[in-house]
Amino acid sequence: MQRIGDAPLVRRLLIAMAVGLSGLFLLLPLVAIFAQAFSQGVSVFWSNVSDFYTLHAIGLTLGIALLTIPVCLVFGVALAWLVTRFSFPGRRLLQTLIDIPFAVSPVVAGLIYLLLYGRNGWIGGWLDSYDIQLMFSWPGILMVTIFVTCPFVARELIPLMQAQGSREEEAAVVLGASGWTTFRRVTLPNIRWALLYGIILTNARAVGEFGAVSVVSGAIRGQTNTLPLHLEQLYQDYNAVGAFACAALLALIALLTLAAKAGLEWRASRREAFA
């Protein structure tokens, strides 16, 4: 059956436009990054990547992302469920509040955490007297990363769950399914791709965040230097190749998560086809 925009001409034109514009706008910068990273050959690229401080930065960055994702996931699902399945006073406000991280410039986001949890902040000062330091150590980095990335999962889920409505879940509950079963058997299959997108965006942003992290990290090499911060230092120090090698790594991490997503999608679609 014919669908909108299925005419060959329209189809080709639209695809050509999309590919062409993305090529110029998105792919070209990516190519430029890799071109710079390898501009002095693979061995220079490799020696930059296998440097101890770079490896440590990679480890720290991935570790932070791994800790960030579950937190954002639980919060995102809970919030999306709340605002799309129930109506209650203050629903819109709640939904707007989770956008605060988008509304706050990353540097300011880092700053507000610093003002609160830093040595002169009222929580930070109290913690300091117990010799607990959150800022300028990895918990601080984790905290601001969660702040910056927490809207993504919820943001992905809300429009979709709103568009889907709650008919199916209500039917399941009326038929006697428990809440958890309903969520797992009815909701989850419907939202899983959006959920996955959410995780991927969370991961991408967590890995790449610079502004907020730079304020609370202290950028101690081999300790609190994340990959984006390390990159910045290399760049400042005229090691452009090293900086772009790190940039290429970050792009690669993003592309790998996306490849993983594509793989999952493919397997799922095969299972469905056989079922």
Partner 1 sequence: MSHFVLRQSGSARVLPGFGLSMGISVLFISLVLLLPITGLFGQLAGLSFAEYWTIITEGRVVASYMVTIGAAAVAALINAVFGLLLAWVLVRYTFPGKRLLDALMDLPFALPTAVAGITLATLYSSNGWMGSWLEALDLPVAQTWVGIALAMAFTSIPFVVRTVQPVLEDMPVEVDEAAMSLGATDGVAFRRVIMPHLWPALVTGTGLAFVRSLGEFGAIIFIAGNMPYETEITALMIFIKLQEYDYVGASAIASVVLFVSLALLLAINIWQGRFVRRLHGGKA
Partner 2 sequence: MSLPVVFRRSMLALAIGATLSSPAMAQERELLNSSYDIARELFAEINPKFESWWEEEHDEEIEVSQSHGGSSAQARAIMQGLRADVVTYNQVTDVQALADADLVAEDWQDALPNNASPYYSTTAFLVRKDNPKGIENWDDLVEEDIEMVFPNPKTSGNGRYTYLAAWGFADEQFDGDEEQIQDFMRTFLGNVEVFDNGGRGATTSFIEREIGDVLISFESEVNNIRKEYGSDDYEVIVPPTSILAEFPVAVVGPNAERNENSDLAQSYLEYLYREDTQRLLAGFNYRVHHEDVVEEFADQFPETELLKVEDVFGSWDEAMETHFEGGGMLDQLQRR
Binders of partner 2 among residues 235 to 254 (CB under 8 A) are: 235-239
| Binding at 102: pick from partner 2, partner 1, none (beta carbon under 5-8 Å per type) | partner 1
**Amino acid identity at 275:** A
Q: Which is nearer to partner 1, 51 or 232 (CB)?
A: 232
Q: Which is nearer to partner 2, 71 or 177 (CB)?
A: 71
**Amino acid identity at 174:** V
Closest approach of Cβ 134 to partner 2, in Å?
Answer: 7
Task: Decide: residue 216, CB within 10 A, 0-12 exposed, 13-18 middle, 19+ buried.
Answer: buried
Q: Which is nearer to partner 2, 164 or 223 (CB)?
A: 223
| Binding at 263: pick from partner 2, partner 1, none (beta carbon under 5-8 Å per type) | none
With contact defined as beta carbons under 8 Å apart, do 268 and 64 qualify?
A: no
Chain residues 150-189 in contact with partner 2, contact rule CB under 8 A = none
Chain residues 40-59 in contact with partner 2, contact rule CB under 8 A = 56, 59
- The single residue among 10, 66, 132, 188 that binds partner 1, judged by CB under 8 A, is 10
CA distance 89 to 83: 11
Sequence-ordered list of residues with C-beta below 8 angstroms from that of 230, at least 6 positions apart, any chain:
53, 54, 57, 221, 246
Chain residues 14-43 in contact with partner 2, contact rule CB under 8 A = none
Candidates 5-13, 94-102, 227-235, 244-252: pick the segment binding partner 2 (CB under 8 A): 227-235
Residue 111: CA count within 13 A, CB half-sphere:
5
With contact defined as beta carbons under 8 Å apart, do 61 and 247 qualify?
A: no
Q: Which is nearer to partner 2, 218 or 268 (CB)?
A: 218
Asked if 132 interacts with partner 1 (CB under 8 A), we say no
CA distance 114 to 215: 8
With contact defined as beta carbons under 8 Å apart, do 233 and 219 qualify?
A: yes
Give 137's DSSP letter: S
Q: How many residues does the chain have?
A: 275
Chain residues 36-95 in contact with partner 1, contact rule CB under 8 A = 74-75, 78-79, 81-82, 85-87, 91-95
Asked if 33 interacts with partner 1 (CB under 8 A), we say yes
Closest approach of Cβ 20 to partner 1, in Å?
Answer: 11
CA distance 196 to 192: 6
Handedness of CA 50, 54, 57, 62 (dihedral sign): negative
Chain residues 88-117 in contact with partner 1, contact rule CB under 8 A = 91-109, 111-113, 115-116
Chain residues 98-157 in contact with partner 2, contact rule CB under 8 A = 114-115, 118-121, 123-124, 127-128, 132-139, 143
The vertex-124 CA angle with 209 and 105, nearest 5°, equals 30
List of residues contacting partner 2 (CB under 8 A): 56, 59-60, 63, 67, 114-115, 118-121, 123-124, 127-128, 132-139, 143, 214-215, 218-223, 232-239
